[in-house]
Structure 1
Amino acid sequence: MPLRSKNRTVKYRPFLRPWVFCMYTMWPPAIKRRHKANTLAEAHETYNNNSSLIYQLPPELILDVTDHLQTVDIFSLQLTCRRYTCLLQSRSRYKVTSHDRALLWDRLERDRYYRLAQAEACDVRNLHSILCSFCRDSHDKAQFQVSEVYKSPHIRKCMGSTGLLRICKHLALSFSEVQERLTKDTNIRCMHWPFSGCTTLFMSQVKHKYRVFHIDDLFWNEFDSSMTLLRSTIQEILMKLAKPVCPHMRTDSPAFQQAILDSTCSRDLVETCCTRRPTTAEFAGPSTRAQMSISCPFKGCDTRVEIERWPNIGGGVVLAKIIRELGQMKSATDPKWCAQLEHPLPGNIGNEEEEFGEHN
């Protein structure tokens, strides 16, 4: 039987130590990564002692410099090496606020994105997902315009961030502009003259998560409550408006006009409440409240037009409003947000069950 060589015994000797054996067989992966990071940090610390000039500065001078730095700069310095961490933590006067944490996290995210951008520059053509400078994350190539794909990752933006949400024919907002208004809790009003109507962003809480809705009034017309309201009357009103509802639906398109005739409606009676009615030429009888909803069939687009008749308001009114769900507005790649843009994502085009007007 051949004898084991001395080199082979030396090679596997560290693994035979009990603590090393336990580390590789029993410890969780997080502890293994920590051990590897500590070993690497010790090697860098040895290198800094011999090569880094700033590392060789006396502690008194470093503390004197940090007295003139902001808190977020001090904690950024602590992350550079262990020596600064131990030295600066001895100063109890440094207190971190939530604002400082946000600034520090932004710096870390910026450094992470810079390293990812350097790695991506080597082989962009063969990558299935590429970086977006707005989201600071990677998306599928289908979520970028062709002109954006081969731009630098430091200026490239996805379609969700460059697309516009059409509020009215005079006003369109980007993702960042909508988020800014939601943060300030301000209404969105068109300032074009002649005044085109008030448009407002509403937030509603559903299951402890926020969903953002864009609600716009289509029309508000007086209609005698003692008269029968026909579907053809509603068709005429919406045909004259000729207004876009979402990127895939218009009030004057043939498919939308047909949906007014085909959609079922609910109404309140004395005997029953909110009973479903079959489709007839009549929308609501005398002194009867009725409601009808028409949804956009485009995949991913959660838009609906609600038409209501209120006999108890004044002498009776009929009104319609547009409700467009924009998602949670946490990511520019949210499918509900992207479906509302003037240029929908390429992956969604052609998935609609029925075309409600022309695509923009």
Structure 2
Amino acid sequence: MQIHRAHKIELIVNDSQELYLKKAVGCARFAFNWALNEWIEEYEAYKKDPTQPKPNQYSIRRKLNAIKRKQFPWMMEVTKCAVQMAIIQLGQAFANFWKNPEHFKYPKFKKKYVSDSFTISNDHFEVKGSRIRIPKLGWVRMREPLRFKEAKLLWATVSRRGKRWYVSLTCELANLNHLKPVKNQGTVGVDLGVKSLAVLSNHKRFEALQPLKKSLSKLRRLQRKLARSQKGSKNRIKLVLEIGELHRKIFNYRQNALHQLTNYLTTHFSRIVIEDLNVSGMLKNGKLARCIADVGFYEFRRQLEYKAEQRGCEVIIADRFYASSKTCGYCGQKNDELRLSDRRWKCAHCGAEIKDRDFNAAINLRRYTERPG
């Protein structure tokens, strides 16, 4: 069984190394945009004349290799993987779009400082301890060694987030013995929310950090300064990097909270029941969209599913129309008149007082698997 996992590590770079990385991401971005433009032109020609060949990544790579030494000699200053892998990724993006256009969007041109990255194939880099060797650059220090000791390296993706550089090492693992065994405590129901990130049926509560909300005033101030700055100026570049650095911190706070929650769930319970939330529909609510996005419901489910698969847990997704909040946890009767603002309510059928709406929902989710049928 082949298991692919990635370990993202921060790089410690000096000025000359950072200059090389900037050149490499610039070459990758240029190659991607150039290839996308060629792809669009060739496809338009194919639609007018079907005898013309359809565009593909192989023909575009050959076309670029034939002209890059004369027209783009600066590409030779960095590893060839930065250019080649950018076109390969474009081909994969088109393949995903044609396969599932509802989920994958049509490839767009890349912008500077937005998802800056380049990829190196496994035969062009080497990892030893807390160092990685990058072609035409040499050895670069990493904050920590690769956590997967016996793993086959597949590729490395160097990226910039804010003012910092990272390398994501994708590996192929033979086993997952490095993971902690599950403390089997049975089934748990998890109710997600905006104020409380998660309320569990065992009375444990994880509060939502809401990092974007806490940094919103500073973010607005920086964006106002950016709007007034002169395009192309050095001060504008500094502001772009400062805004990126703030977004990096917000992202890290959110990811840390989600990792702590999903690690706790997958290491303590063999069966986890969550709601099937319509996140895209919830984001259309103009009053709650920012708060919902700040919590990260989709990322929570993604992390939970892959960690549960690693540790042998079972994740059960309750039906989207299952009224976990409106159902009495004592008698099982549904309260159709319950509003979102009602945090406490009394069951009209059995007279039980529901003091915590979220905990009641978590109890009902835990019992979801006991429902008949």
Q: Give the TM-score, by structure 1 length.
A: 0.25
> Max radius of gyration: which structure?
1
Scaled by the length of structure 2, the TM-score of the pair is 0.24
Q: Which has the higher contact order (CA 8 A, sep 6+)?
A: 2
